[in-house]
């Protein structure tokens, strides 16, 4: 039996792109929600998707999750081309971890936190039955511990605060040992302490070389954790900028993206943005 870390390295060496979109558009009711997006994510990269409300961020993430099939263009996820005869999305989906508001709303509120994370090993929103593996339970506990949720294992999911729920969802997304982790606005709705706590934990995850490739959607540069390497900016479904955070996260790009004059600053390893004063 090879060492678990060696196996991970071996996979890395053989791995092609994590995500490769070529001219992808998603059209609904005659309107392009995502338009001609070409974007590639390589093994080990951690991407932030920035853009205003309605820009198409969640739609793009849904394409990356294999749950939304684009209207035109080609999508390759973890080496599998969507729509090709050799690709079985039901084999692909467990390789992708996803945490977002839409999924949290589908989970049973009466399950405990531990059960909520455990069920991820057995399909998207499965409910609790007694037949869980000891190994799975240990993994669920370990992920919850990493997200600071050990004190909440027996709490009902429906009684959690926004921040506790978000952290549970991230632990849940890790359960299938995904090669790609998708986070849709993980810090939305958190108070300042909750946000800073989550940014710290995401930063730790982002810098862990054995953690999956990550794509995180946000509206706020303050939520970009240290360790995130790349940024994709979209506006009205179109890519405005894509590349390393250092070169692309500029005042000019951010202003174009959000449609108003903004100044972006980096202080140590964190980012802030503010509008220019009037007059």
Stretch that binds Mg ion, among 13-21, 54-62, 117-125, 139-147 (CB under 5 A): 54-62
Residues making contact with ligand ADP (CB under 6 A):
28-29, 33, 51, 53-59
- Decide if residue 119 touches Mg ion (CB under 5 A): no
Question: How many angstroms separate the CA atoms of 220 and 235, rounded?
Answer: 14
Q: From residue 94, how far is each of 66, 181, 201, 259 by CA, in Å?
A: 11, 11, 23, 37
Give me the residue label for tokens 């294992």.
Answer: 153
Residue 227, exposed/middle/buried by CB under 10 A (0-12, 13-18, 19+)?
Answer: middle
Q: Which does 59 bind (CB under 5 to 8 A by kind): ligand ADP, Mg ion, none?
A: ligand ADP
Q: 235 and 220 in contact (C-beta within 8 Å)?
A: no
Which residue, 56 or 97, has its beta carbon nearer to ligand ADP? 56
Q: Which is nearer to ligand ADP, 37 or 149 (CB)?
A: 37
* 10 contact choice in ligand ADP, Mg ion, none (CB below 5 to 8 Å, kind-dependent): none
Alpha-carbon gap, residue 38 to 126, rounded angstroms: 34
Minimum distance from residue 54 beta carbon to ligand ADP (Å): 4
Q: In the complex, what is the shortest distance from the CB of residue 207 to ligand ADP, in angstroms, rounded to a whole number?
A: 26
How far is Cα 65 from Cα 174, in angstroms, rounded to an integer? 14
Looking at residue 112, the DSSP 8-state letter turns out to be: B
Q: Is 59 in the site for Mg ion (CB under 5 A)?
A: no
Whichever of 113 and 239 has its CB closer to ligand ADP, that residue is 239
Question: Contact positions toward Mg ion, by CB under 5 A?
Answer: 57-58
């Amino acid at each position: 039996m090879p060492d678990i870390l060696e196996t991970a390295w071996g996979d890395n060496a053989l791995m092609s792109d994590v995500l490769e979109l070529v001219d992808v558009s998603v059209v609904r009711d005659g309107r392009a929600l995502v338009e001609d997006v070409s974007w590639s994510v390589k093994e080990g990269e951690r991407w932030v998707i920035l853009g205003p409300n309605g820009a198409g961020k969640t739609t793009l993430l849904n394409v990356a999750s294999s749950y939304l099939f684009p209207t035109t263009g080609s999508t390759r996820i973890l080496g599998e081309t969507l729509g090709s005869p050799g690709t079985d999305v039901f084999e692909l989906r467990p390789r992708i971890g996803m945490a977002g508001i839409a999924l949290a709303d589908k989970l049973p509120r009466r399950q405990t936190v531990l059960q909520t994370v455990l069920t991820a090993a057995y399909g998207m929103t499965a409910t609790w039955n007694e037949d869980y593996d000891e190994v799975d339970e240990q993994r669920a506990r370990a992920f919850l511990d990493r997200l600071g949720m050990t004190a909440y294992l027996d709490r009902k999911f429906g009684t959690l605060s926004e921040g506790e729920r978000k952290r549970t969802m991230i632990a849940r997304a890790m359960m299938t040992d995904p090669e790609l982790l998708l986070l849709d606005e993980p810090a939305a709705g958190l108070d300042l302490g909750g946000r800073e706590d989550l940014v710290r934990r995401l930063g730790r995850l982002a810098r862990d070389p054995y953690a999956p490739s990550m794509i995180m959607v946000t509206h706020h540069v303050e939520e970009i954790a240290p360790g995130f390497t790349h940024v994709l900016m979209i506006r009205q479904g179109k890519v405005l900028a894509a590349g390393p955070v250092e070169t692309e996260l500029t005042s000019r790009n951010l202003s174009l993206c959000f449609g108003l004059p903004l100044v972006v600053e980096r202080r140590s390893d964190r980012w802030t943005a503010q509008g220019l004063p009037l007059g």
